[in-house]
Amino acid sequence: MTISMRADRVVVLTGAGLSAESGLGTFRDKDGLWTRYDLNEVATPEGFARNPALVHEFYNARRANCLEARPNPAHEALARLQRAMPDRVTLVTQNVDDLLERAGAVEVIHMHGELTRALCAACGHRWDATRVMEVAAPCPDCERPATRPDIVWFGEMPYHMERIEAALRDADLFVAIGTSGNVYPAAGFVQEAAFAGAETLELNLEPSATVSLFDAARFGPASVVVPDWVAEVLG
């Protein structure tokens, strides 16, 4: 099936593959972060309760990598698409980096949280993260020493789900970029969008676990396939 390039409302879901060429590691590829770290120790509330210093060390390293990284042509193309189609493009990302924003995108929905934000595990207050975070830093609101990264861990509810589901219901094109289709609920968005009547397109380096659920797919590095697709949409 070919995909119409004249969508009125587009929802884009991005994953780690979008930022791979900016030098940020993916999770499940060869040498991915989850081949080098135990996700139960660094990306769960239980891991944080056991060893908060280890968890902060992991995310402090991610934050340092992110500060050194630059947006790549795929981030820039998505920001261009959003500018060219005001109020018609919803950008949802599983990524905790801010490379889409640094490429000029606005209102990016960070469903798995953001490295640039801190969250008080005691009272739920949020604030801008320091470059290096530690659990003992007192919360600016309740002053308790329970600082954690504002990242959604395994076993926690992703953020902004109502907003995302509303956008999926309204979409007539859903595009997933650089995500392996292993983590729900994001991996289920293709079915929600298709059920609501949207066409669906995967852009990835290689087929994801859910590729068969998409109407069409294109394979290649994000820095190539994303600008090509955006150029087609914008004609």
Q: Return d(Cα 106, Cα 93) in angstroms, integer.
A: 12
Residue 152 sits in the site that holds ligand OAD (CB under 6 A) = yes
Residues with active-site annotation: 112
Q: Which stretch binds ligand OAD (CB under 6 A): 27-35, 44-52, 101-109, 118-126?
A: 27-35
Residue 94 sits in the site that holds ligand OAD (CB under 6 A) = yes
Residue 99 sits in the site that holds ligand OAD (CB under 6 A) = no
Do residues 131 and 67 touch, judged by C-beta distance below 8 A? yes
Residue 228 sits in the site that holds ligand OAD (CB under 6 A) = no
The terminus-to-terminus CA distance of the chain in angstroms comes to 20
Q: Which residue is nearest to ligand OAD (CB)?
A: 17
In which residue are the tokens 């676990």 written? 209
In the list 204, 210, 217, 229, the residue contacting ligand OAD (rule: CB under 6 A) is 204
Residue 119 sits in the site that holds ligand OAD (CB under 6 A) = no
Residue 19 sits in the site that holds ligand OAD (CB under 6 A) = no
Range 184-190 contact pairs with CB under 8 angstroms and sequence separation of 24 or more: 185/158, 185/161, 186/13, 186/15, 186/92, 186/94, 186/111, 186/158, 189/11, 189/13, 189/92, 189/164, 190/214
Torsion of the alpha carbons at 123, 126, 129 and 134, rounded to the nearest 10: 10
Q: Which stretch binds ligand OAD (CB under 6 A): 57-65, 128-136, 192-200, 204-212?
A: 204-212
Q: Return d(Cα 80, Cα 84) in angstroms, integer.
A: 6
**Degrees, nearest 5: CA angle 205-33-76:** 45
Residue 227 sits in the site that holds ligand OAD (CB under 6 A) = no
Q: Which stretch binds ligand OAD (CB under 6 A): 5-13, 78-86, 133-141, 172-180?
A: 172-180
Residues that bind ligand OAD (CB under 6 A): 15-17, 20-21, 26-29, 32, 43, 94, 112, 152, 178-180, 182-183, 204-206, 208, 221-222
